[in-house]
Chains A and B, each alone.
Chain A
C-alpha cells in the first residue's frame, strides 16, 4: 500500500513537471517560463542595472573600451580597427541578438523552423525570389576582398563570442517564449542582412498588376492612371542641372507591339509579402552659404516599418583610422547613417525599379529545360530544403534561368492553372562588395572619398546625401540601374529569347548627381530623381508631396540652424490637402447637407492643413478623399477580379486639377445614369460622415487617435504586449513627418558640420532589444513629441567625462 501511494505521488510529480515543461499540453511551458531562476524573470533587468564589466575574450587582439552614455549608446574605442568590428558584433548580439537572427532567418526563408507551417508560403517566397542566392553571390565578392573578409570575420567572431556566453537563463526572452535556441552567426548571415535591406527597399514591384491593368484598361486609360511623370514633380536633381548626353539609348525589340504591349492573357500572381511601398525617407543638406554657422547641415530620416526592437542601434566607433557616429544595423558591421570628424552621410530610397519578370516556357513539368533563343536550354535547379517545426521537411525545386530564379511556376501560386512560369531578373542577385561602401564612408575625409566609396554599392538604388567640413554638399543617386528602352519593365516581358534582356547598365558616371548647386541645398524624398531632360528611362515607385514641402521651406531658409531643421523634419503640413481641398469645397453641394453634415464640413473648411495630432479636420479630409478617389476609379479598375494595383496618390488629384469636371474617370460605368463631379464629391462626403460620426462616438476623430501610431514588436500580433500602441503624434502619407499607423521616421538625424560637430537625433525605440529593460522603448515619447537628443561625439581624452556612465572593457 505504501509503495502504491509512493508510486502515485511520484507519477503525479513527474506528470506535473512534464505538463509545465512542454508546449504539448499547455500553450507555453509555464514552469520553465515562470521559474525565477530560469524563465522570464531573468529577463527583467534592474532599472538601475550596471553595465560596467571587464572581459577577456578569445579573438580580440588589443584593448577595447566601450563607454556607455546614459541612453545606453556605446562609444567604442579600439586600439585596433578590426577589434572594433568584433566588439560591434558583440554589442549587437548583447543587446539585439534575437532580432538579428530572426531577421536573417526570415530573409533566408527559414521562419518555418521557428513558427511552423504557417510560415511556409513566406519561406518559399523568400527562397524563390532568390534572396539566399543573392546573399551567397554578395558574400563571395566580399570575401574576395581581403580587407572586407577581415571585417566580416571579426564581426562574426564578436557575435559568436556573445552567443557562446549564453545559457538557458540569460537567453533573450523571445527564444524562451518561442522555444528555440540561437545558432552560430556566420558571414552569410551578414550578407543575408544586406539582402533583407535590398528586399525592403527594392523588392516592391507591380509588373504583373501593370500587365493586367494595361490589358483591362487599354493603353489610353492605362497611361492616364499610371503616368510616368507627375505634373507637380519637384525632382531630386534641381531643374536646370545639365545631364551628360547619353551615348546609347536602347530601343524596344520589333516584336514589342504584339508580344509586350498586347498580351492576350491575364496573370494571377502571388501578391503576398510585398515590401511596403511607403518604405522611403527624407534627406537634405544645406550648404554653409545658407546656414547661420556657415557650415553645412545634413539631415536624414529613413521611413520604415516602426518596430520593436528598432531596426537601428545607435553607436560610435573609434579606432586609430577613424571615428564614426550614427546608427548601425544589428546584423552588419559599420555605421550606416551618420558622420565622422570630417563628413556626414545619409540615404533615401531611390524608388527605382531594378526588378523585372520574364515569362518562361518550360519543356515539361520537371522544369529542367526552358525555351531560349530557339532551343531547349538546361535550367540550374536549386533544391530548397525548408525545415518545418512539427512537420516533415518541405523540398522546393527552383529552376534558375539566364534571367534568374523562376519565382512563379506551376508549383507555386499558379492560381489560373495555365502552367505559365515567370523568372525574376533583379540586381539583388548580382555579386557586389556592397559593405565596402560603408567601410570607406566611415573613414571618408572629403568628397573624393565619398565618390570612391559609393562605387561599391549596387542595390537598392539610394539617394546618397553628403556634406563635408570643407564645405562640399553633394548627392548621388547610386546603384546599378538597368539600361532600358522606354516602357521596358513596366510589364512582364517575354523570356523566350535574349531580345528583351536588359541592355547592360546606365554608366555609373551618368547616374543623377549634383555637387554644390547654386541653390545652396539638395534634398531627396523618394521622388523621381530628374525631370524629363534626363536621357534614361527610370520607372519606379515615387513620392510627390514630401519633397514639395521640404523644398519650399529650404528655398526660403536663410541662416538656417539645427532648430529650423528639427522643425522641418517634424513638419505636419499637408500640401496634398492644400491642393485638393479647394476643389472639394468648390464642388460639394452644400444645399444637400443636413446640419450635422455641415458641422463636419466646417471642421474641414476651418482646418489649418496640418496633420497635427489634435486636428479632427485632418481625419475628415483624409477619409473624404479616400472615399472620393474610390468612387472615381474603383469602377474602372475592378471590372474583374484580376489583381491590379491602385494608381499612385497623385494621379486622381492631378487629373481633377487638370480636367476638373471633364476628368475621364468621373462617371460610374456600372450605372446607366451619368454621374458628375459634384454628385461624387457630395456623395462621398455624405458616406464619409457616417464614419466621422462613429469615430466621434468612439472619441477617435482626432488625427492622432484615428491614426493610432503603433510600434509593433517584430512578431506583430503574436506579441502585442511587447508593442507600444496609442502613441499620440501627427504626420502621415505625403507629409514630411511621414508617420503613418505603423510606419514612419525610424531615425531622425541632424548634423551640423561645425567644429566640434553638433548633432541631434532620435529614434522610436531604445538601445536594448529586451522587453524587460527600461532601455527597450525609452526614446519613443521623445520621438513622438518631435524632440531630439543631443549626441555626444566622444573625443579622445573624454574617457572620464561624466557622460560615460558605464565602461565595458575587452582584452585578449
Chain B
C-alpha cells in the first residue's frame, strides 16, 4: 500500500470506528477509536496523527454541518450565542470540528506511540 492509500484508509477507518463507538459510548470514545486505528495500522507517527486529526475533523465537522443544515441552523444560532457569545452558526460548527480533530489527534498520537513502544521493529 502506498503512503497515500494507507493515510486515506486510516482516516476513513478512524471516522467509521469513532462513529460506531459514538452510538454506544460517550463522546470521548472517539479518542479511543483513533488510538486503536493508530495502534494497529502501521504508519509513521506523523501520518497517524494526521489521519486521526482529519478523520475526526471530518466526522464531527460534517455531522454538525449536516445536522445543522437540516435544522435550518435554528439551534446553532442559539447555541453559538451561548458558547461563542456571537450569533454565528458556522463558527460553532467549526469549533465542533476542531474539538473533534484534537480528540482524534491526541488519541492517534497515543496509539501510534504505543505501537512504537511495544513493537520496536516496523
Contacts and interface: CB of A to CB of B under 8 A. Distances in A.
Contact of B75 (A2, A9, A44): A44
Question: Which of B22, B68, B78, B100: most chain A Cβ within 10 A?
Answer: B78
Contact of A17 (B28, B67, B82, B92): B28
Interface string B27-47: 110110001000000000000
A16 B103 contact: yes
B117 interface: yes
A37 B82 contact: no
Interface string A386-411: 00000000000000000000000000
Interface in B78-99: 78-79, 81-83, 92, 95-96, 99
Given A41-B67, A46-B70, A9 B113 contact: yes
A32 B113 contact: no
A38 B27 contact: yes
Nearest to B76: A44
A299 B27 CA distance: 51
B117 A13 contact: no
A44 B106 contact: no
Contacts of A647: none
B3 interface: no
Contacts of B23: 37
Contacts of B19: 37
A29 to B, nearest CB: 9
Contacts of B60: 34-36
B28 A21 contact: yes
Interface string B11-23: 0000000010011
A-B interface, 7 closest residue pairs, ranked by CB to CB distance from nearest: A772-B75, A35-B27, A36-B63, A721-B81, A44-B71, A37-B22, A13-B106
Contacts of B79: 40, 721
Interface of A is mostly: helix
Given A38-B22, A721-B79, A5 B113 contact: yes
Given A13-B106, A13-B109, A45 B95 contact: no
B78 A16 contact: no
A774 interface: yes
A21 B27 CA distance: 9
B110 interface: yes
B74 A772 contact: yes
B117 to A, nearest CB: 4
Contact of A36 (B28, B67, B103, B116): B67
Contacts of A35: 22, 27, 30, 60, 100
Interface in A716-746: 719-722
Question: Which of B64, B75, B76: most chain A Cβ within 10 A?
Answer: B75
Q: Which size bracket describes the interface of A in this complex? A: 35 or more
Nearest to A2: B117
A41 B96 contact: yes
B28 A44 contact: no
B107 interface: yes
B113 A2 contact: yes
Q: Which size bracket describes the interface of B in this complex? A: 35 or more
Contacts of A46: 70-71
Contacts of B74: 44, 47, 771-774, 776
Nearest to A772: B75
Interface in A1-54: 2-3, 5-6, 9-10, 12-13, 16-17, 20-21, 28, 30-48
20 contacts: A3-B117, A6-B110, A6-B113, A13-B110, A20-B28, A20-B103, A28-B83, A34-B64, A34-B95, A34-B96, A35-B100, A38-B26, A43-B75, A44-B75, A47-B70, A47-B71, A47-B74, A177-B82, A771-B74, A776-B74
Contacts of A5: 113, 117
Interface in A92-124: none
Contact of B99 (A10, A31, A720, A772): A31
Nearest to A46: B70
B75 A30 contact: no
B26 A721 contact: no
A42 B92 CA distance: 14
Contacts of A44: 67-68, 70-71, 74-76
Question: Which of B64, B70, B110: most chain A Cβ within 10 A?
Answer: B110
Contact of A10 (B72, B78, B103, B110): B110
A48 B116 CA distance: 49
Nearest to B110: A9
Question: Which of A6, A17, A37: most chain B Cβ within 10 A?
Answer: A37
Interface string B46-78: 000000000000011001100110111011111
